[in-house]
């Protein structure tokens, strides 16, 4: 899984058959509630798996679907995910699902195989104590000369001792 991010709750997906090309919807993880990524409090970023089947999006639509013409326009999309491809094969979570990664694709009942792609994996950077401790002091000084990194790191270490 070298440079691929794990897909988590809040990831944005898009369909190649949406009338408006950049229309996205938000993934909601409904298949499990035990496994988290990129979430120090383990409360928000559930890992998405191949078990996210059916209507697992926030709005369950990507606008109008180009595959469903209706007069001068198109019928509204009603997203129903059938299966996933391109997932990480080496790990199976407790729900018997495989972990979705940023280049995983979904099959829709209307659009067919791999018509839904992941626009954003949903992970966000959360600065933690280990990040501060691993920071290069010289680079930090150049970026923000007002922060004394030695003192800042000592304050962080001091908090861990108490």
Q: How far apart are CA 57 and CA 131, in angstroms?
A: 33
Q: Name the band, by pLDDT with cuts 50, 70 and 90, for residue 155.
A: confident
Helix, strand, coil fractions of the chain, as percent rounded to 5: 15, 35, 50
CB 8 within 8 A of CB 38: yes
Which residues share a beta bridge with 64?
Answer: 76
Please determine, for residue 2, whether its predicted confidence score (pLDDT) is greater than 90.
no
For β-strands 81-85 and 112-120, DSSP reports them as: unpaired
> What pLDDT shows up at residue 153?
82
**pLDDT tens sequence across 134-150:** 888 889 889 989 988 88
- Give pTM, 2 decimals: 0.79
For the chain, the domains span 12-120, 129-161
Q: How far apart are CA 105 and CA 54, in angstroms?
A: 14
Which stretch of 44-48, 67-71, 107-111, 127-131 has the lowest confidence by average pLDDT?
127-131
**pLDDT tens sequence across 51-89:** 999 999 999 999 999 999 998 999 999 999 999 999 999
CB 62 within 8 A of CB 77: yes
Mean pLDDT of the chain: 90
């Amino acid at each position: 899984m070298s440079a691929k991010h794990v897909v988590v709750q809040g990831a944005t997906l898009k369909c190649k058959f949406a009338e408006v090309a950049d229309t996205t919807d938000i993934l909601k993880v409904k298949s499990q509630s035990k496994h988290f990524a990129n979430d120090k409090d383990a409360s928000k970023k559930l890992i998405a798996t191949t078990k996210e089947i059916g209507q697992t999006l926030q709005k369950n639509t990507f606008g109008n679907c180009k595959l469903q013409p209706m007069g001068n326009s198109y019928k509204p999309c009603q997203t129903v995910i059938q299966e996933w491809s391109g997932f990480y094969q080496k790990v199976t979570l407790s729900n018997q699902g495989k972990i979705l990664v940023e280049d995983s694709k979904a099959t829709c009942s209307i659009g067919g195989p791999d018509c839904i792609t992941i626009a954003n994996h949903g992970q966000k950077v959360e600065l933690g104590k280990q990040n501060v401790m691993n920071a290069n002091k010289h680079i930090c000084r150049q970026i923000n000369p007002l922060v004394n990194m030695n003192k800042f790191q000592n304050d962080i270490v001091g908090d861990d001792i108490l």
